[in-house]
Amino acid sequence: MTKSLFNHYKKFLPITPETPEVTLGEGFTPLVKSINLSTKYKCDMYFKLEGCNPSSSFKDRGMFMAVSKAIEKNKNKIICASTGNTSASAAAYGAKYNLDTIVIIPSGKIALGKLLQAMAYGAKIISIKGNFDQALNAVRDISDSLNLEIVNSINPFRLEGQMTGAFEIVDELKSSPDFQFMPVGNAGNISSYFKGYNIYKSENKILDIPRLMGVQAEYSAPMVDNKIIKSPKTIASAIRIGNPASSELAKEAILKTNGQFLKVSDKEILDAQSILAKEEGIFCEPASAASLAGFLKYKDTNNDYINKKIVFILTGNGLKDPEVAQKNLKSEIINTSSKIEDISNAIISGKSSNFFKRFF
């Protein structure tokens, strides 16, 4: 049977004899060592493939814990606001554990794959005319009176569960990375990693905590700009957030690790998404690619990353957002008849893909 985060990291999680085990097989995601980009940039790069979680994003790490505690408290309804991934994850756990799941999403602003997931898992989907920040305010306002358990990252158990990402990285590398680049939206995940690394430090499993580098999109960068953004904009819909709920915790994470908040343009995000796919064989969603985009920007004005160990948290699978990918991942499709001759001519004469660059 697959091991569960619940059992494996029990010692570090808020689990009591009354806490029921909840699992969809989350966690233990690959930490893949880069070849091409590491060589190019003279450092050791590792990609944490969080898109390999059951609902294809890192949210499952926190959701198993939040749902477990909700069941412990005898709640039978969970609610979240979401840019898409939290709703997909909540709906998946809700389905398995027979909880009604209500998701509030900003109308027309979540990626198609994520919306389909929430539908497939059977959530009640409420689409509002407004952005994520407004959806989260609504969730805060109505959850008590309707006796709904909030499973956004303002639920402390979500952040506890997400610490397991840091544990896994250290358990695998047998040390702490020097840098960790990751996208920042509502600022929960970076806060969790900080907490997780701190726990491992206090257990003497690591000497230092990596420099945490939080990457935001240019026009959705409240942490970089140090102000609330009323109408955040970016192609990376997952991190289109103007008023992060965990901003204070995230600020502390950056300050105490000598890290930085960085912002990158949509073009830099899309370029990074394409580079990861074409150079490393990893297809992640745009928000996740922001982590690499942040590094590519950082390396232009710094050289302290050379020969260092750098982890990138690739938070979600690229297939979740087919619309953005289709528009931006340029690849020519060669149409031919089914005749062998036409097909082989097409193979020989094609010039668009990496394949041709390498082999012909």
Binding site for ligand F0G (CB under 6 A): 57, 59, 82-86, 153, 183-189, 238-239, 285, 287-288, 315-316
Query: Which of 189, 208, 324 has its CA nearest to residue 256?
Result: 208
Q: Which residues fall within 8 angstroms of residue 266, CB to CB, at 6 or more apart? A: 217, 218, 234, 235, 236
| Beta carbon nearer to ligand F0G, 170 or 313 | 313
Query: CA-to-CA distance for 130 and 82, rounded, in angstroms?
Result: 12
Of 43 and 238, the one with the shorter C-beta distance to ligand F0G is 238
For ligand F0G, give the closer residue by CB, 68 or 82: 82
165: how many CB neighbours lie within 10 A of its CB? 27
Q: Is the CB of 59 or the CB of 211 nearer to ligand F0G?
A: 59
Residue closer to ligand F0G by CB (options 72, 225) is 225
In whole angstroms, the minimum distance from the beta carbon of 292 to ligand F0G comes to 13
Nearer to ligand F0G, 275 or 290 (CB): 290
Structure-block tokens of residue 165: 């990402």
The residues with which 213 forms a beta bridge, in sequence order, are 181, 260
- Please say which residue, 136 or 199, places its beta carbon nearer to ligand F0G: 136
Angle at 214 between CA 212 and CA 215, to 5 degrees: 145
CB of 87 to ligand F0G, least distance (A): 7
CB nearer to ligand F0G: give 23 or 82.
82
- Please state the closest distance from residue 186 (CB atom) to ligand F0G, in A: 3
Phi, psi of 205 (to 5 degrees): -85, -25
Minimal distance, residue 172 CB to ligand F0G, in Å:
21
Q: Residue holding tokens 């990291």?
A: 9
Residue 57: burial class (beta carbons within 10 Å; 0-12, 13-18, 19+)? buried
Shortest distance in whole angstroms from residue 32 CB to ligand F0G: 17
User: How near is the Cβ of 285 to ligand F0G at its closest, in Å?
Assistant: 5
Minimum gap (Å) between residue 302 Cβ and ligand F0G: 23
Closest CB 134 distance from ligand F0G, rounded Å: 13
